[in-house]
Amino acid sequence: MIRRIVILMVLGSCFLSPALAADGISLDPSRTLFAARPVGMGGVSLGFSDDAGGVFSNPSAMIDLEFPQLVGASRKLLLDQTQYTLFCWALPTDYGTFGFGFTGMNIAGSLPTKLDPATNRIILDPSREATSYDNRVIAFSYSRKVREGLSAGGNLKFFNQALRGAAGSSANAMTVDLSTTYHPLPWLTAAANLQNILEGNLKWSNGASDKIGGFYKLGCRLNILGATEESLVSHRQKLYGGLDLDIPHSALSSTNYHLGVEYFPLEKIALRAGFNMDQNGTGLCLGVGLINGGFRFDYAFAERPGIPGDTPHYFSLSYLGERTVSVSHELKEKRPYIKFIQPRDRSVTDKSFVSITAEAKAERILDTKTVWAVTAISETFEVKETLAYEDLTPVYINGVITDQVGTIESSSPLGVGRNVFEILGYTTPEGQAGSGEVKVLRIVPFSDTPISHWAIDPIALSVTLGLVTGYPDNTFKPEKGITRAELVTLLVRSMPVKLAESVPSTGFRDVPTTHWAAKFIAYGSYRKLVTGYPDGTFKPNKVLTRAEGVTILSRYAQLVEKEGLPAPFPDLKADFWANKYITPAKEAGMLKYLEGKNFEPSKPFPRAEACEVLYRTPTVQRRVDRFWETGVVSAGTPETQPQPQPAEGTEVPTYEAR
């Protein structure tokens, strides 16, 4: 009699009618879970078992867990006489999701009763000791994906029930739940949980036995609103709806219905509402969930008709896990700089004005620390050097302050010759200075060599440095073949010497001292830049072939002769006489304008090509660099040359240093 009354109290605390306390059926406390999240949705759970609570309600729904999760709840039931406890833990792995759960009810200090013969009513029996009742369930669950959109799971449950006191007895049993979850549509989830499908039997120590009853539980979940393609309606907020149906098998209950919604107005806040429809009537349920730092606190308000004195407030705490990424920066160094976008440094133009665009920035060198953390589980970090930028201010253009910061835009007139533009900027508050400058050469092109000519830079710099001149009619004749006299003059002018106005002799019978190039031919011959012919002539007006011109310029650049190598160009034979000069010239970058072309050694060597090849030689490049940096056009300090020893009866040209 005492055992029956205690069980009636527990059944009542689980919302079962007292009339259901028939022989042979024992209560499963995991059958109706008291975590606040499902309670706030009217008991809907099958489609929402995406946390550790799924160990009992639907293990197959836990396959998408990213982190280990915990759910816990504890509260008083039935006039604070019954203690209810729930704990669930789930661990996702590469082999599926494993879970563990514990739930139980305990009633302590229940007074025994007896039938009063006088009134035929049940009264307390003070002659017998108080009785307590424990009902515990431990579950081990497992679930895994069967295929895309379909998962299966189940749990193995161990029951222990005990009566202590005057009618003490205990019993153990084991049973199994089987569950499945299916996604027929991206926004629809269908689930089923066959609860206590084996219907295990409790064997009491006093000889009695009870069957563990259960339900066939069917449910669905709809993703009504959401920002992903898995929602019926695209929306920045989220709204889910669910419906569960509980069909009893060998359980003291009727078919139950649960209807609920879960709404996220903000990412970390959930509002819930639902109807719980069971044999005691329909109850309205409300709830709220707050998520922060990987934890979720849930509260639910659920009134139970027909259960007098039941407390309608439910609380539970869950660990969901959360991956966070935090980034911090520590300044190591700041480097101000000026970057010109236009004009290009060392550019040549015929325009009278130039547009200037530059960036005035400071490069911030930072130690950037990135921390990846999973709340209460793990933390890893990485430190690497990164760059950030800030604007310089104030900024000066050629000494004049400007109110522009960041991207600087201006324009300026150009004078004929070398023009220099400098921008200076400062960091704040350190006051570090960054500067940059560009040089622009403005020329007045010859009539036959416009600014678009392929060799305009070499021609312009050669003219500016005084290495070559044009013709009186303001032409340069770039395609005109260069003569031996013109090329040797070009070479000598590039050297740091100043020749006397005249020479006593050139050493060649066809180059009189009155020849316009006499002093250049004499010095070029002396320096072995060129040689004469066996008949004692120089042939100053002879137009050079390309092979002859490149040979002379290779000697001028003092390149080492290379023999026995493959021909440097496709149209040259392996034994061509000038290969030993052409090969080092090509390797030195002096013949870039011929890349991908034939060499054509017998072709006349035009003036434009002569300027191009000479421009690439180290000697002229040094003069070009000096001009751009300082504006000096002279050859600089003259070389000191040993005086040649004259042959008997000959005169040696003299040179005047500058």
| Angle at CA of residue 296, ends 260 and 271, nearest 5° | 35
- Which of 291, 321, 351 is a domain's end point? 321
- Which of 289, 321, 353 is a domain's end point? 321
Domain annotation covers residue 313: yes
Q: What number is the average pLDDT over the span 422-435?
A: 92
The span from the CA of 275 to the CA of 42, in Å, is 5
Phi, psi of 619 (to 5 degrees): -60, -45
Enter the tokens of residue 448. 């036959």
The span from the CA of 292 to the CA of 283, in Å, is 30
Report the chain's mean pLDDT, rounded to a whole number. 86
The span from the CA of 93 to the CA of 26, in Å, is 35
Is the previous residue joined to 117 through a cis bond, with omega within 30 degrees of 0? no
Same domain membership, residue 92 and residue 241: yes
The answer to whether residues 443 and 416 touch, using CB atoms and an 8 Å cutoff, is yes
Residue 652 scores a pLDDT above 80 = no
The span from the CA of 263 to the CA of 286, in Å, is 12
> Helices (H) and strands (E) in the chain — how many of each?
10, 31
The span from the CA of 212 to the CA of 27, in Å, is 7
Same domain membership, residue 463 and residue 491: yes
Domain annotation covers residue 573: no
Residue 297 scores a pLDDT above 70 = yes
**pLDDT (tens digit, 9 = 90+) per residue, 21-35?**
334 566 777 776 678
Domain annotation covers residue 590: no
Count of CA atoms in the C-beta half-sphere (13 A) of 365: 7
Same domain membership, residue 415 and residue 462: no
Enter the tokens of residue 182. 């299916």
The answer to whether residues 447 and 474 touch, using CB atoms and an 8 Å cutoff, is yes
**pLDDT (tens digit, 9 = 90+) per residue, 393-422?**
999 999 999 999 999 999 999 999 999 999
The span from the CA of 158 to the CA of 56, in Å, is 12
The span from the CA of 302 to the CA of 284, in Å, is 6
The set of residues, in sequence order, having a beta carbon less than 8 Å from that of 308 and lying 6+ positions away, is none
Enter the tokens of residue 36. 């606040």
Reduced to 3 states, what is the DSSP secondary structure of residue 115?
Answer: strand
Residue among 33, 16, 5 nearest 316 (CA): 33
pLDDT of residue 169: 81
Same domain membership, residue 479 and residue 527: yes
Of the pLDDT bands very low, low, confident and very high (cuts 50, 70, 90), residue 571 is: very high
Q: Which residue is listed with tokens 């589980």?
A: 377
The span from the CA of 471 to the CA of 473, in Å, is 5
CA distances from 192 to 139, 156, 184, 195, 584 (A): 18, 16, 14, 9, 84
Residue 2 scores a pLDDT above 80 = no
Domain annotation covers residue 593: no
Same domain membership, residue 349 and residue 246: no
Domain annotation covers residue 598: no
CATH of the domain at 22: 2.40.160.60
The answer to whether residues 548 and 530 touch, using CB atoms and an 8 Å cutoff, is no
CA distances from 215 to 193, 305, 640 (A): 8, 22, 111
Q: What number is the average pLDDT over the span 165-185?
A: 87
Residue 518 scores a pLDDT above 50 = yes
Residue 642 scores a pLDDT above 80 = no
Residue among 148, 48, 58 nearest 97 (CA): 58
CA distances from 163 to 18, 111, 130, 204, 208 (A): 19, 13, 11, 10, 13
Residue 126 scores a pLDDT above 80 = no
When mean pLDDT is compared over 103-112, 275-284, 498-507, 537-546, the highest value belongs to 537-546
Percent of the chain with pLDDT over 90: 63
The answer to whether residues 544 and 551 touch, using CB atoms and an 8 Å cutoff, is no
Packing angle, helices 484-493 and 607-615, rounded to 10:
30
Give the type of residue at 353. F
Regarding beta strands 82-93 and 96-110, do their DSSP bridges make them parallel or antiparallel, or are they unpaired? Answer: antiparallel
Same domain membership, residue 390 and residue 311: no
What's the total number of domains in the chain?
3
Same domain membership, residue 329 and residue 317: no
The set of residues, in sequence order, having a beta carbon less than 8 Å from that of 7 and lying 6+ positions away, is 21, 26, 27, 133
Same domain membership, residue 331 and residue 316: no
Is the previous residue joined to 18 through a cis bond, with omega within 30 degrees of 0? no
Give the type of residue at 620. V
Domain annotation covers residue 54: yes
Same domain membership, residue 196 and residue 104: yes
Instruction: Find the length of the chain.
Output: 658
CATH of the domain at 371: 2.60.40.10
The set of residues, in sequence order, having a beta carbon less than 8 Å from that of 416 and lying 6+ positions away, is 442, 443, 444
Of the listed ranges 12-16, 167-171, 535-539, the one predicted with least confidence: 12-16
The pTM of the full predicted model, rounded to 2 decimals, is: 0.56
Same domain membership, residue 437 and residue 537: no
The answer to whether residues 82 and 95 touch, using CB atoms and an 8 Å cutoff, is no
Q: What number is the average pLDDT over the span 221-245?
A: 93
Reduced to 3 states, what is the DSSP secondary structure of residue 512?
Answer: coil
Domain annotation covers residue 576: no
Residue 256 scores a pLDDT above 90 = no
Residue 79 scores a pLDDT above 90 = no
**pLDDT (tens digit, 9 = 90+) per residue, 329-374?**
999 999 999 999 999 999 999 999 999 999 999 999 999 999 988 8
Q: Which residue is listed with tokens 């499945």?
A: 180
The answer to whether residues 288 and 313 touch, using CB atoms and an 8 Å cutoff, is no
pLDDT of residue 78: 61
The span from the CA of 249 to the CA of 629, in Å, is 97
Regarding beta strands 347-349 and 433-442, do their DSSP bridges make them parallel or antiparallel, or are they unpaired? Answer: parallel
The secondary structure of 296-355 as a DSSP string is: EEEEEEE--TT-TT---EEEEEEE---EEEEEEEEEEEEEEEEEEEESPTTEEE--SEEE
Domain annotation covers residue 516: yes
- Which of 321, 344, 371 is a domain's end point? 321
The span from the CA of 15 to the CA of 25, in Å, is 16
Same domain membership, residue 244 and residue 287: yes
**pLDDT (tens digit, 9 = 90+) per residue, 38-67?**
999 999 999 999 999 999 999 999 998 989
Enter the tokens of residue 318. 């869950």
Of the listed ranges 136-140, 253-257, 328-332, the one predicted with least confidence: 253-257
Residue 523 scores a pLDDT above 50 = yes
Residue among 387, 395, 392 nearest 427 (CA): 392
CA distances from 74 to 51, 363, 368 (A): 18, 58, 45
Same domain membership, residue 494 and residue 382: no
Q: Which residue is listed with tokens 């990424």?
A: 325
Containing structural domain, residue 628:
456-544+604-656
In angstroms, how far is the first alpha carbon of the chain from the final one? 132
Regarding beta strands 96-110 and 214-226, do their DSSP bridges make them parallel or antiparallel, or are they unpaired? Answer: unpaired
- Run of H or E including 38: helix 36-40
Reduced to 3 states, what is the DSSP secondary structure of residue 553?
Answer: helix
The answer to whether residues 99 and 141 touch, using CB atoms and an 8 Å cutoff, is yes
- State whether the Cα torsion 6-7-13-15 is positive or negative: negative
The answer to whether residues 264 and 239 touch, using CB atoms and an 8 Å cutoff, is yes
Enter the tokens of residue 551. 């040979």
Reduced to 3 states, what is the DSSP secondary structure of residue 19?
Answer: helix
